[in-house]
Structure 1
Amino acid sequence: MLKFVQSVDVKNQLGEAVSWHQPSQTLWWTDIHGQLLYRLDWQKQIVSHWALPQGLTAFTVLDTKPIKILGSFKQGFAYCWPQTGQLEWLAKPEAHIEGNRFNDGRLDRQGRFWSATMVEKDLGQPRGVLYRLDGSSCVPQLENLRIPNALCWSIDSSVMYHTDMPTREIWRYQFDPVSGDVGQGEHFATVPKGEPDGAIIDSDDHLICALWGGSALARFSPKGELTGVFELPVSRPTCVALGGPDMNLLFVTSATDGMSEQALANEPLAGSLLVYEAPFRGVAEAEAVGHG
């Protein structure tokens, strides 16, 4: 069971990409549509945010003084200094494709940054691609995606997990941690309700996934067995992270995007950051390699 600790009422349109930064004991996340980057100093309980020049979809913190991030923005990969709004583009692999934007991404355990494009307009066309960023080069690894999500890796890096949300299925792929190449894929699990959104791997090598439209989180064993469903007070949870001083705090971002006034009235915590004490623990994030 999860024990509710607190909520941070930020009313995010599309909260996403939440992650715990171990060196500074801070939590970071983005509001993609709000074009905002958030930081929660856990010890001081201070929330800060910065306006961004473009919607940030996934990122990793490279430095905190001053703040520098590496991320996928809607149009491509870039460095960003949010305190000044400076943006330095690295690659825009799909600048020529109208209706696509970047979505879910994260570092693998070897410190390489990944992100995938989704079809924001004309959803019936599966033309999204999962890219691995090698320096400033984008290496396609999975193609024909609609809404890519749930990207994460097993503790030993032999498996990469990924979903195309509308299928409701999470897949597992053979993964070469040295080259970063994705191999053969197979069905891993089908979510019990909603659609699989952001996911992480905990210290037991279980996958924890936000269930968009399902008002819950799901937890799966390495064999794909459903080991827990955790109900939430929000219908659109988007992403999860484990962190805190003991790595047992579960953080959940959520969204208000597309909800009616009546739905928002019925769901006062929609768009909030939710914090729970969990019976499982997290694994520290890797540090980016090759991005000073």
Structure 2
Amino acid sequence: MAELKLIASFALGNLLGEAVVWHDASQSLWWTDIHGKALYQLSWPSQQVDKFELDERISCFAHLPENDSLAAEFPLLVAFASGFALYNPQTKQRCWLARPELGLPGNRMNDGRVDRQGRFWAGTMVEQDQGQRGSLYCLTQTGARAVLTDLAIPNALCWSPDSRVMYHGDSPTGTIRRYQFDAASGAVTDGELFAQVPQGEPDGAVIDAEGNLWVALWGGGALAQYRSSGELLALHPLPVSQPTCLAFGGPELDLLFVTSATVGLSEAQRAAEPLAGALLVYQSQSQGVPEATLQSLHWQKLMAQMEGTANA
């Protein structure tokens, strides 16, 4: 298996870089520093980095399609720490759509992405353990629907190229599970073990054009690459111990972008890992799958439902 070639790095010192996604329409990469309360945009190939400060942590997000009636006003659908909202990083305007765990202290939103049919998914993690558990939600026209429950730190969410399989991991277990996925309804059934990672914990994951699953190994300092059968194809070492998420991008989808974190590292560890918290860019011989286009919902109806719940 060919090694990855590091071609660029951006030493931004992210506390918890995450949710990296390639936006083809703007030929740019986007990601969030959750604990740093910031969104980043990297234009490619100019390599210009723009930073947007936040008033609440964002864990994951998706771009509204350009033909959405609200895209100009709210270009992003995001999972803030406390729920789903439309958001404009330039103006900081926000409209809440669903906050399913607002009354559950100690939890926050975590990993998420758009499935190949355009539905937006995001999970909640246990940040302060008070006996509660997290869930994986799918945002629908009627609100946030819990699909998986009894989770600690949901991660590694991705789908096979044919949408027949959904992959998902609960990081502390060290495992990724495979579910039968109904593309039409978004229902999942028959979960089974896909892989036990060889080191660290599974964090963000992505599928390549050949159906292989790539996953960042938090605390493991590497990317693991699996066949769809669950066979470990390769373990790609990284210059950071806490890689968090990855995405294929670039005009040919043959660049691999990897986010990382500095949170929890000692001064000695930071000194030994000068690229901790950086965005890493690799040339890959594998090619990615185009990011799915978000499906437009009746956003105003969701907003009205939120207002009705708040006033009840």
Alignment of 1:76-155 (within 5 A): 76-122=83-129, 125=131, 127-135=133-141, 137-155=143-161
Name which of 38, 58, 63 aligns with 2:40: 38
Secondary structure class of the residue paired with 2:75: strand
**Contact 1:126–1:145 (CA under 8 A) maintained in structure 2:** no
Name which of 259, 268, 277 aligns with 1:271: 277
CA distance in 2, matches of 1:191, 1:183: 22
CA distance in 2, matches of 1:20, 1:229: 23
Secondary structure class of the residue paired with 2:129: coil
Structure 1 residue 197 and structure 2 residue 203: aligned? Answer: yes
**Contact 2:120–2:139 (CA under 8 A) maintained in structure 1:** yes
**Contact 2:74–2:86 (CA under 8 A) maintained in structure 1:** no
Shift of 1:66: 6.3
Residue of structure 2 in register with 1:18 after alignment: 20
Shift of 1:43: 2.2
Shift of 1:214: 0.3
Give the aligned CA root-mean-square deviation in angstroms: 1.3
Larger radius of gyration: 2
CA deviation string 1:157-213 (max 9, x = no partner): 000000000110100001000001111100000101000000000001000000000
Higher strand share goes to which structure?
1
Name the amino acid aligned to 2:6: F
Name which of 209, 214, 221 aligns with 1:208: 214
Residue of structure 2 in register with 1:237 after alignment: 243
Name the amino acid aligned to 1:47: V
Name the amino acid aligned to 2:63: V
Secondary structure class of the residue paired with 1:28: strand
Unaligned ranges ≥5, structure 1: none
CA distance in 1, matches of 2:74, 2:183: 29
TM score, norm. by length of structure 2: 0.91
**Contact 2:29–2:42 (CA under 8 A) maintained in structure 1:** yes
Residue of structure 2 in register with 1:59 after alignment: 61
Structure 1 residue 247 and structure 2 residue 247: aligned? Answer: no
CA deviation string 1:65-106 (max 9, x = no partner): 666110111000001101011111101100111100000000
Unaligned ranges ≥5, structure 2: 300-312
Shift of 1:136: 5.1
Shift of 1:9: 1.1
1:20–1:116: structure 2 CA closer, same or farther, 3 Å change rule?
same
Shift of 1:122: 1.3
Secondary structure class of the residue paired with 1:290: coil
Residue of structure 2 in register with 1:160 after alignment: 166
Name the amino acid aligned to 2:38: L
Segments ≥4 residues shifted beyond 2 Å: 63-67
